[in-house]
């Protein structure tokens, strides 16, 4: 979920809006949500805002940053990461949480110029490494040594989402209708998706399962854009 100022829940029958009357500490733009259950949810958004939901009440968490957070992903309730980059100044951070607090593990402002990256999406299936992308090309971060390795995917534009099932089954999507898949040894860019809409779609999210893949984004026109959802069978 993303793209709003308050969270919305669908229970199969009706929609519920969690505005200020339900104790939600809003005032920022929501970019992404992650949770291990309906009583363990984290929301990230602009201005470094992170909000936690325990199933009955909302709590604003201290992130120690004002950078716009664009993505969050975790393995379980105690291994969670978030990242984002400011459009205004390129300031990028990667945060890590044990479920109760957040710490900064990467801050571009403290790095040498050659190590100043801009990330807006992340994914992992391991406690020791992260896949990060965005304005900077896809990189793998080994957490034990804080070492970055650039990954060549064949993409030529900014990436907005990286998601996978295992280390040998990863998808990445972004601008110009680009979507690529990693099978553990090589990356395959899907030209049929680019041909489908003439490269005019921005793919903001990709979510794979073992049976199918769903891509979501916006198709751009001369005046505006409209939502695009693509489902591919595996």
Question: Residue 94 CB: number of other CB atoms within 10 A?
Answer: 22
pLDDT score at 6:
84
Confidence (pTM): 0.93
Domains and CATH numbers, the chain: 1-151 (2.120.10.30), 167-234 (no CATH)
Contact assessment for residue 71 and residue 121, using Cβ atoms and an 8 Å cutoff: yes
pLDDT score at 109:
98
How far is the C-alpha of 188 from the C-alpha of 195, rounded, in Å? 15
pLDDT score at 21:
66
Mean pLDDT by 10 residues, the chain (234 residues): 76 86 87 94 97 94 98 96 97 96 98 97 97 97 97 95 97 97 96 89 96 95 88 94
pLDDT score at 217:
95
Write b or e for each residue in 125-163: b if 16 or more Cβ atoms lie within 10 A of its Cβ, otherwise e. Answer: eeeebbbbbbebbbbebebeeeebeebebebeebbbbbb
Phi, psi of 157, deg, nearest 5: -130, 175
């Amino acid at each position: 979920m993303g793209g709003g100022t308050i969270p919305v829940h669908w229970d199969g029958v009706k929609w519920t809006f969690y505005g200020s009357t339900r104790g939600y500490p809003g005032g920022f733009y929501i970019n992404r949500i992650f949770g291990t259950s309906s009583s363990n949810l984290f929301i990230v958004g602009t201005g470094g805002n992170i909000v936690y939901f325990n199933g009955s009440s909302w709590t604003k968490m201290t992130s120690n940053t004002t950078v716009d957070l664009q993505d969050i992903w975790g393995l379980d309730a105690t291994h969670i990461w978030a990242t984002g980059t400011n459009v205004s100044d390129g300031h990028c951070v990667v945060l890590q949480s044990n479920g109760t607090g957040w710490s900064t593990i990467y801050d571009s402002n403290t790095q040498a110029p050659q190590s100043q990256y801009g990330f807006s999406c992340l994914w992992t299936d391991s406690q020791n490494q992260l896949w990060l992308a965005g304005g900077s090309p896809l990189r793998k971060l080994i957490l034990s040594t804080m070492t970055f390795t650039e990954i060549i995917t064949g993409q030529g534009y900014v990436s907005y989402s990286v998601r996978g099932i295992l280390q040998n089954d990863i998808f990445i999507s972004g601008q110009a209708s680009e979507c690529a898949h990693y099978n553990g040894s090589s990356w395959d860019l899907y030209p049929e998706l680019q041909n489908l809409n003439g490269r005019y779609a921005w793919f903001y999210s990709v979510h794979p399962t073992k049976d199918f893949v769903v891509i979501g984004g916006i198709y751009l026109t001369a005046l505006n854009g409209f939502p695009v959802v693509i489902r591919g069978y595996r």
